[in-house]
Chain A
Amino acid sequence: MNITPLGDNALTVTFGNVISPELNDLVLAADAVINNSPFNGLIETVPAYSSISVFYDTRKIKARMDKSSSSFEIAKANIQSSLAGLVKVENKETEVIEIPISFAPEDAPDLELLADESGLTTAEQVIEIFLAQTYRVFMLGFLPGFSYLGEVDERIAMARKESPRTLVPRGSIGIAGRQTGIYSLDSPGGWQIIGRTEMEMFLPGEDPPTRLQAGDQVRFIRF
């Protein structure tokens, strides 16, 4: 566990530099621990793949504490003590969320390309491999409601485009390396687009404002 400043009002706790469900479980456990007993000055936490960032208000931490240590040191010590003995919480039997996808050519502009690149003979094979698996939502980021899921079968993993598209339509499902993600809004983007869903991922009027949360299980089904 490595803790570094993320500017003068935040820090990042890094558990590793790989994408793995085990590390992500630790991140989510840490997220729960920090938010269940928030320290004075805590603003918010941002769980990511294998790290969690903690934003805080320097003024609130320093106001009542010993002036000789920095807010960063105080926040770091706080987090270290609350994460001591952190164990991953047993995965609750989470419901698998089903997301319908269209693989029609207009919704899946990179499907043929991915089939070629991966050495598979048809787009249909790519689809079958993609649908065969249950994915974990590792984190949200990039756009309001954009979810990072994994891991994609190695046979259909593909690097992102060298030059991003200026517009990827909302609902598009892309592949980047062994990650897959759902564009929650129209956006520029460089992921290989293999399908599209009509399901809204960004729910601005609701709480929480996103369909998916880190830790959720997702299955894609053919629409």
Chain B
Amino acid sequence: MSLTLLSNGILTTVQDLGRYGARRYGINPGGAMDTKAVRLINILLGNDENEAVLEMHYPAPQIRFDEDVIFSLGGGEFGAALNDSPVGNWRPVFARKGDVLKFAEKRSGTRCYLALKGGFATEKWLGSAATNLKARMGGYQGRALKKDDILEYSEQETEDGSARQIPVTDHQFPFRVSFNLVPRYSAFPTVRVIPGAEYELLSEETRRGFVEQSFKIGLQSDRMGFRLAGKPLKLEKPHEFISSAVSFGTIQLLPDGQLIILMADHQTTGGYPRLAHIISEDLPLVGQLGANDGIGFHVVDINQAEDLVLDFERELNFLKLGVNLGAPASCRQ
């Protein structure tokens, strides 16, 4: 049971929802940049939501399935086709032995996820399958995937009938994740933030500059962080901070007045002023951005941020329930 990469992608790694408990050793959680996409497609397939997936950037690799498998794509939309017949995101797709998955063009987003029903057979490091490129650990031999790599996957449960009894037209099952669960991706989102510890040190004028202007995602942007370009912001007075922990979604103010958003592979600690933090609900929108996209910020309070987390969880429970019942009305198209 395996799949084979027939070509190189620009950056394809095994990820899950992250590695927790090791930040104290300088080991960041890593994991998917868009955790909502990963959770949604794993749940859709009946997997544990933390099951390992492939995170692909465009150009993405061609993938041949060497055994029958049910898979799902989510996140960025890369014009996927299975043996030249188009397959959409957010739905289960049945691939037969020898079928080839290709990606024709980048239509939206920056990262597309591939989940398999049953998951990949990966070896976990410190409790997670996420690839830590810096430590060269986790995922597939601790590195990005390349042409000719073969990834094993778990035994498929298609023979017992449950999946095969659902009619498959053009490979696709006739249900999908409902639209209200799919993040509202945009190449220029306004995302909500809560103030960081040093937000109060900014002048009124600088705070206005933070929320009233839009920023461009710079070219030096990757899984570690996004450099933003905009009108420089300044601190009231120069301030030095002793290094302390930072997080996925922390927005730091650099000495030159520019901002950086820390992303999944961020360093565990930092000493730059923590201006704000992107709320969990909106972080997946940021995880789909790439160089030359734009972003704006809107400040909310922590209660609102937490309520949004719980709201999404409630919606997600409906999807879990629906999948357990075998695709009922709540996730039918």
**Minimal beta-carbon separation of A46 from chain B (angstroms):** 4
* Shortest beta-carbon distance from A42 to chain B in Å: 10
Q: Tally A-B pairs: CB < 8 A.
A: 138
Q: How large is the interface on B (under 10, 10 to 19, 20 to 34, 35 or more residues)?
A: 35 or more
> Which residues on A sit within 8 Å (CB–CB) of B27?
144-145, 209
Contact with A along B232-243 (1 / 0, CB 8 A): 000000000111
Cβ-based interface call for B101 (8 A): no
Kindly identify, within residues 119 to 166 of chain A, every residue whose CB is under 8 Å from any CB belonging to chain B: 139-146, 148
A191 at the B interface (CB under 8 A): no
Query: Looking across the interface, which residue of chain B has its beta carbon closest to that of A12?
Result: B244
B residues 198-243 near A (Cβ < 8 Å) are: 241-243
Q: Is A202 an interface residue (CB 8 A)?
A: yes
Q: A49 contacts B250, CB within 8 Å?
A: no
* Residue-wise interface mask of B (111-148) relative to A, using a CB-CB cutoff of 8 A (1 in contact, 0 not): 00000000000000110000010110100000000000
Docked complex: A193-223 residues within 8 A CB-CB of B: 202, 204, 208-210, 214
The reply on B302 being an interface residue by CB < 8 A is: yes
Whether A148 pairs with B126 at a CB distance below 8 angstroms is no
Q: Render A50-71 as a binary contact track against B, CB cut-off 8 A, 1 for contact.
A: 1101010011001000000011
Among A2-10, A83-91, A93-101, the stretch that binds chain B is: A2-10
- The reply to whether A143 and B134 contact each other, CB–CB distance below 8 Å, is yes
Is A47 close to B, CB under 8 A? yes
What's the tally of chain A residues with a CB closer than 8 Å to chain B? Answer: 47
Give the shortest distance, in Å, between B249 (CB) and chain A (any CB): 6
Check if A184 is an interface residue, CB within 8 A of chain B. Answer: yes
Task: Determine the distance from Cα of A47 to Cα of B306 in the docked complex, in whole angstroms.
Answer: 24
Q: Please give the distance in Å from B4's CB to the nearest CB on chain A.
A: 28
Could you give, for residues 95-116 of chain A, a 1 whenever the CB lies within 8 Å of some chain B CB and a 0 otherwise? 0000000000000000000000
A58 touches B244 (CB 8 A): no
One of A4, A14, A48, A208 near B243 (C-beta < 8 A): A48
A8 touches B305 (CB 8 A): yes
A4 to B277, CA, bound (A): 12
Q: Are A48 and B245 in contact (CB under 8 A)?
A: yes
Nearest-CB distance from B138 to chain A (Å)? Answer: 9
Q: Is A18 an interface residue (CB 8 A)?
A: yes
B24 touches A44 (CB 8 A): yes
Asked if A70 and B269 make an inter-chain contact with CB atoms under 8 angstroms apart, the answer reads no
Q: Are A8 and B242 touching (Cβ within 8 A)?
A: no
Nearest Cβ distance between residue B221 and chain A, in whole angstroms?
16
Q: Is the CB of B243 within 8 A of A49?
A: yes
Interface assignment of A45: CB less than 8 Å from any CB of chain B: yes
- Given the known interface contacts A18-B242, A43-B20, A143-B134, the answer about A6 and B247 at a Cβ–Cβ threshold of 8 Å is yes
Q: Are B279 and A144 in contact (CB under 8 A)?
A: no
- B267 in contact (CB, < 8 A): yes
A58 touches B309 (CB 8 A): yes
B280 x A142 contact (CB < 8 A): no
Q: How far is the CA of A145 from the CA of B267 in the complex (A)?
A: 12
In the bound assembly, the distance between CA atoms of A49 and B310 in angstroms comes to 33
Contact B137 A204 (CB under 8 A): yes
> Can you report 13 A-B residue pairs in the complex whose CB atoms are below 8 A from each other?
A6-B197, A7-B280, A10-B245, A17-B241, A43-B20, A46-B269, A51-B244, A140-B25, A143-B26, A148-B243, A185-B135, A210-B26, A214-B24
Ordered nearest first, which 7 A-B pairs have the shortest CB separation? A141-B269, A53-B245, A7-B277, A8-B305, A46-B245, A48-B244, A51-B244
